[in-house]
Structure 1
Amino acid sequence: MTTASEGAELTRVGPGTPMGGLMREYWMPALKSSEIERDGPPVRFMLLGEKLIAFRDSDGRIGVMDHRCPHRCASLFLGRNEEGGIRCLYHGWKFDTSGQCIDMPSVPPQQDFKHKVKAKAYRSIERAGLVWVYMGARAEAPPLPALQILDAPDAEINVGMIQRDCNYLQAIEGEIDTAHFGYLHGGHADPARLDESEPFYFTVTNRAPEFHVADAPWGTQYAGYRSAGAGRTYWRFANFLFPFWTQAPNGEFDSHAHGRAWVPLDDNHTMYVFIWWKRARAANSLPQPAYKDGTPVGGTGRGNKLLPNTTDWLGRWRMADSEANDWGMDREAQRTNQIYSGIDGIHLQDQAITESMGPIVDHTFEHLGPSDQMITRTRRRLLMAARALRDQGTLPPGVEDGAVYHGARSGYFVSDDQRAWREVYDTRLAAALHPGPAPARAAE
C-alpha cells in the first residue's frame, strides 16, 4: 500500500520537492512551436508549479522565463515583444531570450546597471514541433530523451496536446493499466461478432489478462498476455519511461513509434503531449473498430473536441467535455449497453476516470490487486529514484544517457514464439520498423 507520506512525495512537483527535483533533471515538452509567433504576444503557461512566459524574438529565438520582471515583479506577460526582446510595460526594462536585461530606459545613463540584472530564464530547444524546456541547474543541459519517435524527421511526426485536470501520476497510471481496457473501453463489445483481426478482439474475449512486470533501463515495462489459441499468444507490451513518459499498446508493435508525456503543470493539472510517427499503424490511423458485418463498435469516437485556447495560466488545450457536463455521458447509451461507459471516445473515457478521482488520489483509500503490479512497481521506481537524487545525488535513469529510451517500444501482436517474454520482446523489436534520424535545432 502507498502511504499518505509516500503519496505526497510522489505527487508534489513544486520547487524544493523530491519529485519536483527529479523532474527538473529532464527536458520537458512544454508548448507547440506553433503557439509562439516571431515578435508576437508572449504565452502564459505553467510548468512544475511555476508561472512562466514564452516568446519568440525577432530572430526566431525562444525565451522562457519567470513571468515576473526582476525590477518590481510586474508580469512580463503584459510586455511588448519587440526588436529582439521582451519589454516590461512598467518602466520599459527589456530582456533578451536568455533573461539578460539589455535596456533600462527609465534609469539615467550614468546610473544604468542593466549588465547586473537578469530575469530568471530557462533553456529551450525545438524538436518535433515542440518547445522543450530544461528547468534544472546543470551547467550543461542533458540530452533529449532518445525516444525512437525522435529519430523521425519533424515532417513525419504528429503532435497533440490535451490538458487533464488531475495530478500527473494518476494520469500515468491510467496509461499503464491495461486491465481496464476490456471494461471501460470495450465492456459493451460482443466478441462473437468480431473478427480475430480486429484489435479489440482479444481484449474483449478475455477481459482478465495475465502479466509480466519488471524494471527496465528506462523505467518499468509490462507484458500483458492472453492465449490466442493453438500455441499462440496475444501480447500487449507497454512502458513507463522516466520521468513522465508512457508508451501505450494502442498500435501494431512493428511500426508503433511514439511517446506520450504527462507533463505536470502543477500538482493538480497535467499536460498530455502525444507525439507519434505518421507511418505507424495505430489507433490514430487505423479505421474505428467494427463488427464482422461492418457495424461500428460503439464508444470509440476519435474526435477530442477542444475549447479555444485562452491566455489564462491553465487556458491551453482543454477538452470541451469535463466534469461540468459529466464528460458528455449518455446514460441511455450506458443503460442499453451501446457504450459500456456511456462516454464516447477512448481518450475521453480515460480523462473522465482519472479526473473523477479528484485532483490527487488519496492512496490510503485504495485496495490494489494483482492487475495493479505495473502501478505499484512504477510508484516504487519513481519514489526510490527521487529519494536517491535528493539524498545521494544519484541521477535518475535517462538523464545522462538518453539512449536508454531507444530500447522502449509498445504495441500488440500475436506470436507463436514460446520463449521467455523478454526474448519475445527483443526479437520483435529487432525486426520492427524504425524511423530515420533527424537533427535537433536549439533555441539559443
Structure 2
Amino acid sequence: MITAEENIDLCSVGRGTLMGEFFRQFWVPVCLSSELVADGDPVRLMILGEKLVGFRDTEGRVGIMDHRCPHRCASLFFGRNEQGGIRCAYHGWKFDVTGKCLDQPNLEDKTKYPAGTPAYAYKTCESGGLVFAYFGERQDNPPPLPEINAIMGEGDERNIALTHRDCNYMQALEGDIDTSHLGFLHVGGVDGERLDLSDPEAFTVTEKAPKINVTETNFGTMYSAQRNAYEGTEHQRYACYLFPFWVTYPGGGGLEESKTVNAWVPIDDESTMIFNIDLSRAAGGGKKALKYKDGTPVEGLARPLEYLPTTTDWKGRWRPVKDATNDYGIDREWQRSGGSYTGIVGIPLQDQAIQESMGHVVDRTLEHLAASDRMVVLTRRVMLDAALAWRDEKMLPEFVDRPEYAREARGGDMIVPKGTDWLEGYEEVMARIKGYVAPKEPAE
C-alpha cells in the first residue's frame, strides 16, 4: 500500500509536482499528425495540465506552444494560421513554430522592448503518425525518441486510436499492467466449449488465477502471467511498462510478431488521453477469435468505440458516446444470461467503465492488494523512485538517452516447456528478433 502523500505525488502532473516534472523530461505524444493541417485551424490541446495550441504552418512544420500570446495573454487559438506562422487576433503579433516573433505591426519602434518577444514554444517531432512535444529542460538538446517498435517499426500502415478517459492517468495505466482482470472483465463470458486451443490466449479463460512474475528493467518494469497449458507446457503472457507512461501490452499474438503499445498521457490530474498504436493487426497479425457464449467473437468487439463530435473545448476530442452519463450502455439482461460478464460491449469500454468508476483520482489507501497485483506494486515504486531521483539528484533513468532499450520491451503470448524460466524463455524468443538489444542489469 502507498501512503496518501505518495498517491498525490503519483497522480499529480502539473508543473512543480513530482511526477509532472519527471514526465516533462520525456517526449510526449500530443495528437495525431492528421489533426494538424497546413495553414488550417489551430487546435486546442491540454497536456500535463498545460493549455496549448497546436498548428501546422505553410511548409508543414508543427508548432506546439503555450496558447497565450506573450503580449497581453490573449489566446492564440483565435489567431490566424497564415504564411509560415500564427498571428494573434488581438494586436497582430505573429510567431513561427519555434515561437520566434515574425511581426509586431502595432509597434511603432521595433528596436525597443518588447520588440521581438517570442512566444513560448516547445520542441516537436513526428513519428508513426503522431506529433510529439518535449516539455523538459533540454530544449536545446532534447533526448531521442524511444525506439518502441509499434512507432518506429517498418511500414506506414498502423491502427491508431485515441480515446479520452475521465480519470487520472495512473489508474488507467494500471489497468494495462493488471493481467488477471482479463479472465473476468473481458473474457469472463467466453464459452469454454468454443475455445480454440491453438490460440494461446485461450488459456486466460481456462485458468483465471495465474502466477505473476515481475522484474525491474532498464526501461521500467515487466511481468509475465504464468498458466498451465497443454500437457507438459506452460503459457506465458508478457507486458512491459516503459518510462514514463508507455505499456507494450499483449494484444497482438506471439512475442515475435507483436507490435502494440499504449501511451497513457495525462491531460490533467483528472483525465487521460490514450494513444493506442497497433502495427501488428495493420500488418495482418493478431490473435484468433475467442467467442462469448452467444457466439459473438471477442476480437470483433475489441474496438467498437463511437465518438462524440469533436469540439474545440480543451477536452473536446476523442470522447466516447457511451460514458458515465449512460452507464456505458450496460445490458443487464446480457449480463444476467451469462452471455457477457459485464453487459458492456467491447474491451476499451469495459476498461473505461471500471477505471472511471473509481472516481477521477482513486484513493489508494483504501486498497487491499494481493499477489495478483505484484506488477502494479512494483511499477508504482519504480515510478516514484525515478521521479524522486530526478527531483533530488537531477538523475534520470538511463533509458532517456538509450532509446534502443525500448526494443527489449514487447507484449505477447508464448507456450514453453513446463519449468522454463520466464525470463529465459522471453530472451530466447527476443534474440531471434532483428534489431533486438539484450537487457542489462539496472544501473546501480
TM-score normalised according to structure 1 size: 0.93
Shift, 1:193, TM fit: 3.4
Shift, 1:158, TM fit: 2.7
Shift, 1:58, TM fit: 1.0
Shift, 1:150, TM fit: 3.2
The corresponding residue for 1:93 is: 93
SS at match of 1:243: coil
In the aligned structure 2, how far is the partner of 1:61 from the partner of 1:420?
A: 48
* Deviation >3 Å, runs of 4+: 109-116, 297-300, 432-435
Contact kept, 8 Å, 1:298 with 1:338, in 2: the verdict is no
The corresponding residue for 1:181 is: 182
The corresponding residue for 1:353 is: 354
2:308 counterpart letter in structure 1: L
Shift, 1:413, TM fit: 1.6
Contact kept, 8 Å, 2:164 with 2:318, in 1: the verdict is yes
Identity of aligned pairs, percent? 46
In the aligned structure 2, how far is the partner of 1:63 from the partner of 1:299?
A: 38
Shift, 1:153, TM fit: 3.5
In the aligned structure 2, how far is the partner of 1:220 from the partner of 1:152?
A: 22
Q: Note the alpha carbon deviations across 1:150-198, whole angstroms, 9 max, x for none.
A: 3324513332211111111101100000100111111122323323124
Contact kept, 8 Å, 1:185 with 1:299, in 2: the verdict is no
Q: Note the alpha carbon deviations across 1:74-112, whole angstroms, 9 max, x for none.
A: 000000011111111111111111111111111114555
In the aligned structure 2, how far is the partner of 1:356 from the partner of 1:34?
A: 32
The corresponding residue for 2:262 is: 260
In the aligned structure 1, how far is the partner of 2:294 from the partner of 2:186?
A: 19
Cα 1:357–1:132 change in 2 (3 A) is: same
1:267 counterpart letter in structure 2: D
In the aligned structure 1, how far is the partner of 2:422 from the partner of 2:154?
A: 32
In the aligned structure 2, how far is the partner of 1:109 from the partner of 1:115?
A: 8
In the aligned structure 1, how far is the partner of 2:341 from the partner of 2:335?
A: 5
In the aligned structure 2, how far is the partner of 1:110 from the partner of 1:353?
A: 57
Contact kept, 8 Å, 2:74 with 2:90, in 1: the verdict is yes
Contact kept, 8 Å, 2:61 with 2:97, in 1: the verdict is yes
Q: Does 1:81 align with 2:81?
A: yes
SS at match of 1:376: helix
The corresponding residue for 1:235 is: 236
Cα 1:276–1:298 change in 2 (3 A) is: closer
In the aligned structure 2, how far is the partner of 1:433 from the partner of 1:225?
A: 26
In the aligned structure 1, how far is the partner of 2:363 from the partner of 2:347?
A: 25
1:193 counterpart letter in structure 2: R
Q: Does 1:281 align with 2:288?
A: no
In the aligned structure 1, how far is the partner of 2:407 from the partner of 2:341?
A: 37
2:236 counterpart letter in structure 1: W
The corresponding residue for 1:427 is: 428
SS at match of 2:400: coil
Contact kept, 8 Å, 2:190 with 2:290, in 1: the verdict is no
Shift, 1:200, TM fit: 4.5
SS at match of 1:399: helix
Q: Does 1:385 align with 2:389?
A: no
SS at match of 2:170: helix
In the aligned structure 2, how far is the partner of 1:434 from the partner of 1:232?
A: 29
In the aligned structure 2, how far is the partner of 1:114 from the partner of 1:405?
A: 44
Shift, 1:397, TM fit: 4.2
The corresponding residue for 2:271 is: 269
Shift, 1:254, TM fit: 2.1
Contact kept, 8 Å, 2:191 with 2:291, in 1: the verdict is no
The corresponding residue for 1:29 is: 29
Shift, 1:6, TM fit: 0.3
The corresponding residue for 1:64 is: 64
SS at match of 1:270: strand
Shift, 1:330, TM fit: 0.6
Gaps of 5+ in 2: 437-444
Shift, 1:250, TM fit: 1.8
Shift, 1:247, TM fit: 1.3
Cα 1:154–1:230 change in 2 (3 A) is: closer
Shift, 1:9, TM fit: 0.5
Contact kept, 8 Å, 2:250 with 2:260, in 1: the verdict is no
The corresponding residue for 1:108 is: 108
The corresponding residue for 1:304 is: 305
2:259 counterpart letter in structure 1: A
What is the RMSD of the two structures over their aligned residues, measured on CA atoms?
Answer: 1.9
In the aligned structure 2, how far is the partner of 1:46 from the partner of 1:61?
A: 20
Contact kept, 8 Å, 2:178 with 2:376, in 1: the verdict is yes
